[in-house]
Each structure stands twice: as C-alpha cells, then as structure tokens.
Structure 1
Amino acid sequence: MSKLENGKPEQNIDTLRNYARILHLPQHLLWFDFPGQSRLRLPRSLRTTDGGGPDSQSSGLITPQARDELLVVNTGMDTLELLRRVRASAIDSSTIDALNITVEQLCCDYAHADARELMTAGKEWLGKMTELLNNRLTLAQHREILTKAGMLALLVGCLEYDLGDARSAEATRRMAMELGKEAEDAGIVGWAHEMLAWFHLTAGNYRAVIPAAESGALAAPSHSVAVQLYGQQAKAFARMGNVEEVHKALDTGSALLGRLPYPDRPENHFVVDPDKWDFYAMDTYRIVGEDQLAQRNAEEVMRRSVNSEGTPVAPMRIAEAQLTLAVIAARRGDVDEAAALGIQALQNGRRSRPSLLMVSSELEHELDTYGAGAGGDFRELFADIKRAQ
C-alpha cells in the first residue's frame, strides 16, 4: 500500500490487474478490464455503489422493472419484446443476447431474492427454453439455448434444495447434467457435480463428497467451479477430522483461483471470486478449530456482504458468518453472546435450509457443553425451524 501511495505510478497493466485482484477493488472503480470480462453495461438501478451489491437490492429483490432496464440498455428490447420473439421463434443474435442477459441476471439474483419467487421465474424461463429447442435453430443457436437451459436448471435445482425439496432438486440437477453434456459445456457439468457434492455434505455423507468433487474437477478443471469443488472437499475433510487434506484442498483451490480472471459479475451464483473463497475457508477453519482464522474470515465475510448503505446483499453468507462467530463465542464460554448471534442468523429471511441446519447443529453441539438449558432461546427457535416443512 505504501508503494502504491508514495512510489512511482505503476504502468504495467498486468501488475495493476494483480493489485486490483489482491485488494478486492470493485470493477466500477477501475479504468481497465480483467482478461475474459464481458462489456455488459448495467443500468443505474443495477450498478453497484461500493462493490457490494446493486442499489436496487435495498428491498432484497431485483424487480422485473430493473431486469427490463438491463435488457433495454444492452439490447434495445424489454422482457415483453423478448417473450414475443421467443413465442414467434424469431431467434436472432439480439434475441440470444437478451436471453443470455436474462439468465445471468436470474443467477445474480440468487443470493438475495425470495427463493420461491425466483424459482418460479426460473422454471418459467426453463420451460420457454425447452420449447425453443423443438423449433428450427442453427447449430450454434441450438447449443446456446441448451447452455442457457442448463444454467436455469442449475439455478432451479439449487433453489429447490434451499427450500428443502431434495428429491426435486436431484431430478433437476440430473437434468442440468444432461443439458450440459449435450451442449458440451464443461462448466455446467462441473456445477452439476458440485451440487451433488453439496447435497452429500449437508446430508452428512462426507465421504461421498470427495468423489463427487473429484469428478467435477476432472470435468471442468479450468473453470471457476473447480475452485468451489476444492472448497467442498475441504469442508468434507474438515468434518472427517482430516486436517492435512483440508489444507491441501484449500491450497489447491486458492492457487487455481489466483490464475483465473476476476469475474465481471461476482454476484452470479455460478462463478467463484475471492469473497466466496473466504466464505468457504471460514467454514473449514471453524470446523478444525482454528478459531482466530475463522473469526477473521467471518468478520470479513460480513463486511463485504453489506453495501455502503448497510443493506445486506448476501444474507445467506451473513447468516453463516454469524453462526461461525457464535460457535467461537461458545467455545470461549460466552454462552449469551453465542445464543444472541445464533438467533440473529436464524431470523434471516433468505436462507438455504440444509446449510443453515448443518451449521446451526454445530452451534447447538457447542452449547451442549454447558448443559441442556444453555442458550435456551436459540434452541427453541432452532427446534421450530427443524420442525417446519
């Protein structure tokens, strides 16, 4: 930092990109791009003000009007016009661009949007994509539609699992896998494997996580999903008590992440950026008992998950960070603080039910050390959530 502030201005673009990546500088503050970035222009309602999230997220949901504005800015058509073209099978390059933008925005909405509303929208667009595949398309158009359908299937499957519908989520995951294979899209195939690893992890099948993650990394070795697959492996190894393998997986994932270009839209659920990696490392540090590192990462995750106005832009990450701090508080004997943080996490509106139950169970286990009555308010709320369907 001293060199940047006081030294000779850096002229080498690769060095500047490296500084920006290491310091987590948001894209809208940079005058240069990272390799592989798109030139998607965001309308004012979707622009980030501090690198933390869109202005329109103050309500926790990207509105249909904001999605329309995104389409108009970049393609000149709104959602109604896009739907008209889809129904008329008027598929040209502009229509394909509009579909790409629509699907990407839906994937970016995952972190904060109402899960049921977003799942409904995802299923509707998935239905339209599958209808399009029955029409006369060029080979390139067919592959593009297959890819977008695969991404939507991944999104819908994740939301189904968040809402506790594991059976439907597995069926949708398999659909995504087949679409990815047919489109020859390694990234989609990799994410389908990652979902399976996630399902196994939250179900307590830790040994099954390892081969699922290995299969995904083999399918998409140079995609960002491979980074997350190493993170899932680290989580599983941590819960199996294999600390050496935990650090191997974290080191491998971190090295791969450092070689990848910084994503143009890191809020997309199906890309991995340094912020998400810190979130994964937080979980493993907590499990293996490296409380100081876990606390550092949890505090950083919470800081980056709130925009400059104090609005949460990644509420699920915040909840798990609060639970991490709660576990650490319980370990040092501060039961009241642990219970209070646990309650805050459970009262979060946007949640992934399986992940929340898994981490909350760890806090409950820590509170057991102090007797069945310790953290009573947290236990009562947690029991209500477990009973809820």
Structure 2
Amino acid sequence: MVSSVDPRFGVALREFREQRGLSLRSLGQRAHRSKSHLHELEAGLKAPTVDTACHLDRVLDVGGALARLVDAPIDHAAEAGELRARVAASDVSADVLDRIEQGVDDLASAYPTMTPADLLPLVRRHLSYVGRLLEGRVTLAQRRRLLVAGGWLAVLRATVHIDLRQRTAAVAHLRAARDLAEHAEHGEIQAWCLETRAWDVLTQGDYQGALDLSRQAQRVAPRGSSARIQATAQEARAWARIGDVGATRRALDRVERLTANLPAPERAEHHYRYDPAKAAAYAATTLAWAGDPGAEQVARAVLAELDPYGDGGARPRRSASARLDLGLALVAAGQPDEAVALGAQAVASGRVVPSNWWRAAELLAKVEQSGVPEAVTLRDVCTEFAPGRRPSADSASG
C-alpha cells in the first residue's frame, strides 16, 4: 500500500540519518536503496511504502518511528498552523546572531595581523556554522542576517585563499560570496567581491582586467561605502601599473575627496572598513608604481608615521609594505643603496606573504638593473625568506 506524501516522513528520515552521521550514499548502501530514491523520500517528492518505512526503521534502529508516520493520517489543519507558526518561530536566537556578526568583525579585524594559514580554519569554522543555521528554522529577517554574515565570511575566506595562492579555492568562495550577497541584496559585499578580484588579477599582471573590475565595483558599491573608496584606490593602482600617471593622479584625487570627511572607524584594522589613514599609504604605493617623482616624499612620510622607531610599529604589515614602496621610489630617484637596505628590512620582517611577494621581487629586479653591488644582499635575503621556505608572520592586503 502506498501512502499519501507526508512531509514529516522526509524530515524525520533526514534527522535520523544525520543523527547517525550517515550520508545519503552510506545509508543507501546499508539499506540497499539508491541515493536518488532516498533523496526523493527526504525531499517529499515520493511517498514511502509501509515496507520501505519498516525497512528504514530497522536499518536506522528508530523503533518504528518512520512506519508510524506512513500509517498516520495527515492533519492538514495542523500543518497549516505549523506553517503559520514557522513564520514567527526560529531556532536561532538574537543573541546567536549578534555573536555571529561580532565574530565576522573580529575575523575581519584579525586579517592584517594573523597568518593566512592560522586565520583560514577560523573563517572556515564560522562559515560552516552559518551554513548549518541557514538549513534550520529561521525567520525571513534572521535569514537575511545570516546571508549577510555568510557573504562577509565567504569573501574574507576567498581573500585568505588568494594570500595563500590557492586560486581555485578563492574563485569558488568569491562566487559563493557573490551569490549570498545577491540573495541578501547587499551591494557592498557584491562590490567587495569585484574589488577582491581586481586585486588578484592586478598581482597577476592583468592590469586592464583590474581596471575594469575596479570600475564595476565602484558602480555596484553604495555611495559613501568603504567598498567604493577601496575600489577607487584599486583603480588608481591599475592605472599606475598601466603607466598612465595622469589617470593615476586623478583617481587618487577622487580617493582624497571620498575620504576628506570620513571619520576613523571604530576598528581601524577591520579589512572592510576604510581607514582614512590608509589613504597616504595607498598613495605612496600607487605613485611608486607609476614612477611619479612625488612618490619618495609621500612614502617617507608614511613610513615615519607607521614605524617611527624602526621596530615595525603597531602595524608591521603596513610598515613592511611602506619600506617596499619607498625602496621602489628610491631606485627610480637614483638611490639604490638605501633601497637595498629598506627592501632587506621589509623581507626579513616576515611580513611579505605569497600574494604580496611579487612586490619584493619587483624591487629586487629594479635594484639589480641599477647595477649596484649591494643588490646581492637583497637577493640573499629574498632567497632566504621566499614563500615556502619560512613561515610568514602576517597576511597581505588587497
């Protein structure tokens, strides 16, 4: 006898299966049923026979619970009432959601100081937890908050994968972040996905691609958002690599206007909250790449601010990047000796990770082209600290 399709059967079957740690495939092997057949039963696409229910009862050892659901009549009034209750009911408390969002901010703030290898499992664990909650009973408002949290975590995870040069994983999680952001209708996360892609292709030498993605990010980003500012700064970097100094300067001018009245964020190290203090550092990097004569002065001021005592300062990652920027500017200004010293300090700090290593390599190439004998010193340090030879002490920033 075939019963009516009772959705409670599929829900119960899935719960019993997961409680025993079984996948659909492993349950199918034990019960001698196909994976697709079990999926249809759990999804309510196919009604179970009494024999099938009894067989699954025995395999899962649930004391006839599934067979009773097949025999039991469906109470449509009760089901309608349950549906109405689900609109207001949830297994996720406000406190849980608050802690998840706090965790997102904590991880985004830890990004500049933790190694990518140490940060990745934390992000992965938080993202997995959000995914499990999305599968449970949540209200529409709670679902959106979870989607937004998942979107931020997915784009952060992609960024960490980029730092580790794990591009296949990075692409997959950027796609996931984009999908979550689209479902949540969250324009800023969508913009950060584009900006992150722009940074990645820039480091691979696709400067036109970086320019196009940066402009797309600016169009998607909400007005006044950190994503729009960062994407504008990224555009300036792309122009610098292309070699258009005028366009570089114009893009930097736009960044300056966007940040003119921007207050410092509560957590300045938060990767997705633009800190106005970053503007000078981005300008130094961009001008150095563009070969602009003003790069040296800006880069010296940035390094003095970040590392006044020469010990790495409170933000050693930025200090290392500032040394590379100043070194590049000094080579262009005919001062390769000092550039060697600065480059060696930056590399030996352990703060130059795989995704940023090309900047150290570029400085080394410029120094060696200058013919200065001290270039061998920088080459030796780069060889010693090259990615894969020593553990990195920091993460890179897009």
TM-score, scaled to structure 1: 0.71
Change (3 A) 1:105 1:234: same
Aligned residues of 2:353 and 2:387 also touching (Cα < 8 A): no
Residue 366 (structure 1) aligns with = 366
Identify if the C-alpha distance between structure 1 residues 330 and 307 changes in structure 2 by more than 3 Å, giving closer, same or farther: closer
Does residue 323 (structure 1) correspond to residue 351 (structure 2)? The answer is: no
CA contact 1:275–1:304 (8 Å) conserved in 2:
no
Q: Where does residue 31 of structure 2 map in the other structure?
A: none
Kindly tell me: are residues 247 and 307 of structure 1, through their superposed partners in 2, closer, same or farther at Cα, counting changes over 3 Å? Answer: closer
CA distance in 2, matches of 1:158, 1:191: 10
- Residue 375 of structure 2 aligns with which residue? 375
1:279 counterpart residue number: 281
Give 1:310 deviation, angstroms: 6.0
Give me the whole-angstrom Cα distance separating, in 1, the residues matched to 2:250 and 2:173: 32
Give the drift of 1:298. 2.6
Matches within 5 A, 1:6-17: none
| One-letter identity of the residue aligned with 1:288 | A
Q: What SS is found at the alignment partner of 2:277?
A: helix
Q: Is the 8 A contact 2:188 2:222 kept in 1?
A: no
Which residue of structure 2 aligns with residue 236 of structure 1? 238
Instruction: For residue 144 of structure 1, report the CA deviation from its aligned partner.
Output: 0.5
Residue 40 (structure 1) aligns with: none
Partner residue, 2:117: 116
Deviations along 1:87-133, one digit per CA (max 9) or x if unpaired, are: xx852222221211111011101111122111111111110011110
Contact 2:154-2:176 at 8 Å conserved across structures:
yes
Distance 1:300 1:138, change over 3 A: farther
- SS of 2:370's equivalent in the other structure is coil
> How many percent identity over aligned positions?
30
For residues 254-284 of structure 1, give each alpha carbon's deviation from its aligned partner in whole angstroms, at most 9, with x where no partner exists. Answer: 2222354542222101111211221211111
Task: State the shift of 1:189 in Å.
Answer: 0.5
Aligned letter for 1:271? R
TM-score, length basis structure 2: 0.69
The answer for the alignment partner of 2:260 in structure 1 is 258
**Post-superposition shift, 1:227?**
0.8
Letter in 1 for 2:241: R
Q: What amino acid maps onto 2:289 in structure 1?
A: I
Partners of 2:162 and 2:279 lie apart in 1 by 21
Shift, 1:303, TM fit? 4.3
CA positional deviation for 1:221 = 3.8
Over the residues paired in the alignment, what is the CA RMSD in angstroms?
A: 2.4
Q: Which has the larger radius of gyration?
A: 2
**Which residue matches 2:15?**
none
- What is the 5 A alignment of 1:197-216? 197-216=198-217
Q: Which residue of 2 aligns with 1:71?
A: none
d(CA) in 2 for partners of 1:260, 1:282? 20
* Amino acid of the structure 2 residue aligned with 1:297: V
Whole-angstrom CA distance in 2 between matches of 1:270 and 1:133: 23
The aligned length equals 299
**1:290/1:349 CA distance change after superposition, 3 Å:** same
Change in Cα spacing, 1:387 to 1:319, as seen in structure 2 (3 Å) is: closer
Q: Per the alignment, do residues 92 and 310 of structure 1 end up closer, same or farther by CA in structure 2, a change over 3 Å counting?
A: farther
Q: Deviations over 1:328-380 (max 9, x none)?
A: 333344433222211111122343422232x2233123213333855102113
AA aligned opposite 1:375: A
Give the alignment of 1:1-389 within 5 angstroms. Answer: 90-222=91-223, 223-258=225-260, 260-291=262-293, 293-305=294-306, 312-357=313-358, 359-371=359-371, 374-384=374-384, 388=388
Secondary structure in 2 aligned to 1:369? helix
SS of the residue corresponding to residue 349 of structure 1 reads coil
CA distance in 2, matches of 1:323, 1:308: 17
Aligned to 1:47: none
Instruction: Give the unaligned 5+ runs of structure 2.
Output: 1-89, 390-398
Query: 1-side partners of 2:378 and 2:312: how far apart?
Result: 24
What is the CA–CA distance in structure 1 between the aligned matches of 2:104 and 2:379, rounded to whole Å?
39
Native 8 Å contact 1:186 1:219 kept in 2: yes
CA distance in 1, matches of 2:218, 2:129: 31
Structure with larger RCO (C-alpha < 8 A, sep 6+): 1
- Structure 1 residues 334 and 105 mapped into 2: Cα distance closer, same or farther (>3 Å)? same
Does the residue aligned with 1:272 lie in a helix, a strand or coil? coil
CA distance in 2, matches of 1:305, 1:155: 25
Question: Would the alpha carbon gap of residues 110 and 322 (structure 1) be closer, same or farther in structure 2, given more than 3 Å must change?
Answer: same
Greater CA deviation, 242-251 or 131-140?
Answer: 242-251
How much has 1:295 moved relative to structure 2? 3.0
